[in-house]
Amino acid sequence: MNKGRIEAFTDAIVAIAATIMVLELKPPKVNTVAALLDEWPVFLAYLISFSLIYIVWYEHHNLFQRSGVISSSTYFLNGVWLFFLTLIPFVTAWIGESPNSVVAAVTYLLVMLLWTLAFQLMERQVTLDSDPHKRHYRLPRARFNFDLFLLGGLVIAFFVPFFAIVAVGLFSLILIVRMFQHREDSNG
Amino acid sequence: MNKGRIEAFTDAIVAIAATIMVLELKPPKVNTVAALLDEWPVFLAYLISFSLIYIVWYEHHNLFQRSGVISSSTYFLNGVWLFFLTLIPFVTAWIGESPNSVVAAVTYLLVMLLWTLAFQLMERQVTLDSDPHKRHYRLPRARFNFDLFLLGGLVIAFFVPFFAIVAVGLFSLILIVRMFQHREDSNG
Amino acid sequence: MNKGRIEAFTDAIVAIAATIMVLELKPPKVNTVAALLDEWPVFLAYLISFSLIYIVWYEHHNLFQRSGVISSSTYFLNGVWLFFLTLIPFVTAWIGESPNSVVAAVTYLLVMLLWTLAFQLMERQVTLDSDPHKRHYRLPRARFNFDLFLLGGLVIAFFVPFFAIVAVGLFSLILIVRMFQHREDSNG
Amino acid sequence: MNKGRIEAFTDAIVAIAATIMVLELKPPKVNTVAALLDEWPVFLAYLISFSLIYIVWYEHHNLFQRSGVISSSTYFLNGVWLFFLTLIPFVTAWIGESPNSVVAAVTYLLVMLLWTLAFQLMERQVTLDSDPHKRHYRLPRARFNFDLFLLGGLVIAFFVPFFAIVAVGLFSLILIVRMFQHREDSNG
């Protein structure tokens, strides 16, 4: 498949998913600083979801940089990954409106976890495709830790819903730090 | 015409049509699992329409891969194809809201059928353009079966509206299976 | 300037303007064929605006194909052209809702006329830029006829508002016919 | 990093942010010229925000033209810049609805100022990356004047809210004039 065209198509979907979330940011009903600040959960949820999408795009970029040919399996898993990504505007709007709802918090983290798992399956596929002799694939330790982290966040969110947004914020931060480390240590 | 630019323009429209459907996914009125699950037809309709668009993009990609020069006729038919594609968010929203409406179900399948026919006309054009000596074009058997399948679904939807969404779901699955077969047998 | 990047940026805006118009297509209040058909002006307005944008994109494509370097003036006029283009979803929604309103009809045609004039200024600029010795530019007769046509439509729309949508439909058809002639006669 | 892919991804977000603002332009409640003209602050705010985004894109284009490799730091700052950009539809909708609100006016200018500062940090990073021996970076005088200008506008907006929109309109004009000067004097 034409890698450049798949990348551009994927990036368009990522860009739209990241940007249509701003349609949730509505001018406050009354024009006071208090009314604006009252909307802080909506803004915080937007900031965190936008940051995560932006930094995960970097991971997608790296994955496709090192992939040679895009196989049907990779294309399929890319679609699964994009599908969960497009649910982020929905869960972000929900958690922004209802930051103390357990159902919203758990759904938010569940979408993030499934999105992350879809990425890991795609990463596995790209790795296997690049080396036809390879039979076994071991999930990198860092990826495994991400899954544990999000799963842990999901459990905590059952008791403290607001932790969902904190967990995804921390997850973005970890990925950002990793990106800067990656610069210094290309084997990272 | 500049094939790369037409592809990028087309892909942007496809990406937007696939992604703005998520604007239909609204947080439930009350924050309960029951309220979320009550929205299942909206989510199912979204999942199926997104999958279909994503997998049909693969067919478009293949068609343009094997086309040399893009003629005015192909550009025109590409526009017809894009027009029906942009109606998918509308019919998806409708069938998600009214999964038991005969009118919604038939309109949904009609749009899918017209979209499919537009693709087949475009495919015919690309084939004729690539070989100026060719006068006759025979619709591939698989394409003909797709038309019959959607037409059959349309007839059944008059009696069982919900079958519309099942039919399009099955159609996506068939195209996905075909994509994986295509990998193993490049003559497929 | 980097022509490929300007083209891609322009095309993204064109694709979004053409596609967000579908957000105006709402499922009918009641699920009957009559209720769906009652919405015909909204659908007709969408069909005509989408067709026009799609076919004018072809003109933009041709213009940029024959331009060498993109000057600041061309970039500026491209922005003016894009600005009027982005007003099309607004006037299309308006005329679809109020097909018999004189104000809606005249505004619709006025936006189309200004958009067309912006294109002609950009075309003039590209022509002058491509030949530094050229001092004078004569508007091609076809372009002049388009202006007259839209201006005439605007006058008629004062008396028969619905003519606005007919005029733009005819304008799209003329451009489509021209595109097919262009194929056979590259000097067109 | 793959500069072309980052540019395309960035441009898609810029194009969406610039274009979804038109969703704020609603057909007037009654179909009269007076009702249309009554909406002038919404249209003016849209015109000015669209112009600014379009002309700042030109600055982004120039910056990436002269950058060699995109570092992690540049990618990160590009994300900060995009984040503030995506807030523009929100503040534009707000100031269009409430052109005389101090809170709306100050928020509008604050977003513009933060967006501008993010650009300057990114410009500094690109400059430092392009010359590893360079340790110190001096903000160009023109950039410093822009900051002062927006800061001054912010102060005035506390007393005359409507000045916010005038200030951003003037800012766009200055950048447009600079673009035309840049053409004649490539050292600008």
Range of lowest pLDDT (C54-58, C92-96, D8-12, D179-183)? D179-183
Element (H, E) at D62: helix D40-66
pLDDT for the residue numbered A92: 97
Nearest CA in chain A to D13: A15
CA distance B46 to chain A (A): 10
Whether A16 has its CB under 8 Å from any CB of chain B: the answer is yes
Reading the block at residue C1, the tokens are: 């300037």
Residue A100's nearest CA partner among A158, A46, A29 is A158
Do the Cβ atoms of A25 and D79 come within 8 Å? no
Predicted confidence at residue A130, as pLDDT, reads 87
Residues in chain D within 8 Å Cβ distance of A50:
83, 86
Instruction: State residue C131's pLDDT score.
Output: 82
* Residue A134 DSSP one-character state: -
Predicted confidence at residue C185, as pLDDT, reads 46
Q: What is the pLDDT of residue C183?
A: 59
Each of the 188 residues of chain A gets a pLDDT tens digit; together they read 889 999 999 999 999 999 999 999 999 999 999 999 999 999 999 999 999 999 999 999 999 998 888 999 999 999 999 999 999 999 999 999 999 999 999 999 999 999 999 999 999 999 999 887 877 888 899 999 999 999 999 999 999 999 999 999 999 999 999 999 875 544 33
Q: Is the pLDDT of residue D188 over 90?
A: no
Average pLDDT for chain B? 93
Q: Is the dihedral of CA C96, C97, C100, C106 positive or negative?
A: negative
Q: Which of B8, B13, B97 sits opposite C18 (nearest CB)?
A: B13
Closest residue of chain C to B87, computed from CA coordinates = C22
Q: Which residues in chain C have Cβ-Cβ distances shorter than 8 Å to B20?
A: 19-20, 22-23
CA distance D86 to D93: 12
Encode pLDDT of C143-181 as tens digits: 999 999 999 999 999 999 999 999 999 999 999 999 998
Residues 6 or more apart whose Cβ sits within 8 Å of residue D136: none
C66 vs B186, residue with greater confidence: C66
ipTM for the predicted complex: 0.94
- Residue A183's pLDDT is what? 59
State the average pLDDT over residues C115-140.
90
Q: Which of C31, C176, C183 sits opposite B104 (nearest CB)?
A: C31
**C-beta separation of C25 from B90 below 8 A:** yes
Give the C-alpha separation, C68 to D62, whole Å: 18
Residue at token pair 């989510």:
B43
Residue B187: pLDDT band by 50, 70, 90 thresholds? very low
pLDDT at B6: 95
**Mutate which: B90, B92, B100, B114, vs C, most C CBs within 10 A:** B90
What percentage of chain C reaches a pLDDT higher than 70?
Answer: 97
Q: What is the mean pLDDT of chain C?
A: 93
Interface mutation target, options D3, D5, D77, chain A, most CBs of A under 10 Å: D5
The verdict on a CB contact (< 8 Å) between C50 and B83 is yes
Q: What is the pLDDT of residue A186?
A: 45
pLDDT of residue C162: 94
Residue A32, chain D, CB below 8 Å: the answer is yes
pLDDT at D111 over 60: yes
The percentage of chain D sitting over the pLDDT mark of 70, rounded to a whole number, equals: 97
C-alpha triplet C83, C87, C93: angle, nearest 5° = 165
For the cut 60, the answer to whether the pLDDT of residue D187 exceeds it is no
Give the Å distances, CA to CA, from C69 to C6, C11, C72, C74.
11, 18, 10, 9
Q: Which residues of B touch A101 (CB under 8 A)?
A: 31
For B:91-150, CB contacts with C below 8 A are 93-94, 97-98, 101-104, 107
With contact defined as beta carbons under 8 Å apart, do A77 and D29 qualify?
no
**B179: closest CA among B13, B48, B61?**
B61
Contact C76 D180 (CB under 8 A): yes
- Read off the pLDDT of each residue in D81-89 and give the average, rounded to a whole number: 98
Give the span between the Cα atoms of D102 and D98, in whole angstroms.
Answer: 9
| pTM, rounded to two decimals | 0.95
Cβ separation D20–C16 shorter than 8 A: yes
CB-closest option in A7, A23, A61 to D20: A23
Inspect the interface and report whether the beta carbons of D22 and C97 lie closer than 8 Å: no
Closest residue, chain D, to C3 (C-alpha)? D61
Task: For residue C20, list chain B residues with Cβ-Cβ distance below 8 A.
Answer: 16, 20
Contact A1 B51 (CB under 8 A): no
Q: What are the pLDDT digits (tens) for B105-120?
A: 999 999 999 999 999 9
Q: Which residue of C has its CA nearest to D62?
A: C1
Q: Look up tokens 């110190």; give the residue.
A: D136
> Cα C51 to chain center, whole Å?
9
Each residue of C50-85: pLDDT tens digit? 999 999 999 999 999 988 889 999 999 999 999 999
B9 to chain A, closest Cα gap in Å: 10
Mean pLDDT computed over every residue of chain D: 93
- Interface touch D8/C8, C-beta < 8 Å: yes
Nearest CA in chain B to A78: B54
Determine the Cα–Cα distance for residues D22 and D39; give it in Å rounded to an integer.
13
User: Is D26 buried (19+), middle (13-18) or exposed (0-12) by CB count in 10 A?
Assistant: exposed
Chain B residues lying within 8 Å of A104, measured CB to CB: 27, 31
- Cα D107 from Cα D38, distance rounded (Å): 23
Q: What is the pLDDT of residue C182?
A: 75
Confidence category of residue B69, pLDDT binned at 50, 70, 90: confident
User: How close D105 comes to chain A (CA, Å)?
Assistant: 10
What are the tens digits of pLDDT across the range D116-148? 999 999 999 999 998 878 778 888 999 999 999
pLDDT higher than threshold 60 for residue B186: no
